[in-house]
Amino acid sequence: MSLCRIAIRRACVLALKGRTLAGDNVLDSEIGAVDTDPAGNLSVSGEGRFIAVYTDQAQGGSGMPGALYENGELLVRIEFGITERMVVEEEDPDNPGEMIRSVVSGIPFTSAAAETYLDLVGRQVISALSHPENEAADVFRGLFQSDVRIDRRRESDDKGQAVAAQQIALTGTLLPDPISLDDVPVEAPFARLLALLDAGTGDDQRIAALMRDELKAETEPWELAQERLGRTMRELLGVGLGPIAGDVDRATPEMTEAVFDIPGHGETVLVEPSSV
């Protein structure tokens, strides 16, 4: 949906990895309690600790009716908790009336020990995202262009019983998506995030490559103006930003001369760019 949404999730993941009791089990938009054993088979650990980062609802309000690159106010959810192996009974879809048992990962009901652990992780999350020497955290903060509102919530099951998980919700106005590589100077948060991904895992590097593919390498000034402002071709021409009306291919050739003929103000004047 948005390059900056991807960027802020990845920056948050990188900022939290190895800096809390959850260790490196910090994931983008998933809860990972399923691992692989040495033989490569799927296995479910008896107990796992996780942090999952999600981007939720966003609401734009730029007042520009076509500015689709605006991300507006975004909600980032950081969920953390404990998973454990559970045995679940359910009806066998192939044999009605018979029950089958399966082992799944789930979040258990909370306890005093779990609450202590969760409160510690919650504090560690805030500390990691606030640390001045955490490059990924600095990028994460820089991707917001407004003050951030913080809400802390606990998780419950569908019956309202508390489970061993909590959530920190951060709401702020996200930077607009860049349109071209010219929009991404090396010191900008978006460019710094790409550099962090380039130095990361193979998955990180693939994500960085996909994000770069969405940025135009060479863009005419009028194209940038049209995309940033979200205006139609006619509107762009009306304010003098688009290619001339006779330019069918919209190739915007370099201007070599212009002729001004203003009735009642003397003879027609030929103006060349070098003389302006």
pLDDT of residue 42: 38
Rounded CA-CA distance 75/69 in Å is: 17
Other beta carbons within 10 Å of 169: 16
Residue 38 has pLDDT above 60, yes or no: no
| Per-residue pLDDT band at 104 (split at 50, 70, 90) | low
What is each CA distance from 250 to 59, 86, 243, 245, 259, in whole angstroms? 34, 63, 6, 9, 21
What are the residues whose beta carbons fall under 8 Å from the beta carbon of 2, sequence distance 6 or more?
58, 71, 174, 177
Q: What is the pLDDT of residues 188-247, one digit of tens each?
A: 999 999 999 999 999 999 999 999 999 877 777 777 777 777 777 777 777 767 666 666
- Taking the C-alpha atoms of residue 125 and residue 19, their distance in angstroms, rounded to an integer, is 8
pTM of the full predicted structure?
Answer: 0.75
Q: What is the mean pLDDT of the chain?
A: 81
Element (DSSP H or E) covering residue 153: strand 149-156
User: How many whole angstroms separate alpha carbon 132 and alpha carbon 193?
Assistant: 16
Q: State the CATH architecture for 3-177.
A: 2-Layer Sandwich (3.30)
Contact 256, 272 (CB under 8 A): yes
Cβ pair 88, 101 in contact under 8 A: yes
Higher pLDDT, 193 or 268: 193
d(Cα 200, Cα 178) in Å, to the nearest integer? Answer: 22
Summarize the confidence of residues 132-141 as an average pLDDT: 97
Using the predicted structure, report yes or no on whether residue 72 has a pLDDT greater than 90.
no
Distance CA 23, CA 25 (A): 6
pLDDT for 132 equals 94
Report d(CA 40, CA 23) in Å as an integer: 22
What is the band of 94 on the pLDDT scale with cuts at 50, 70, 90? Answer: confident
Dihedrals phi, psi of 189, to nearest 5 degrees: -55, -40
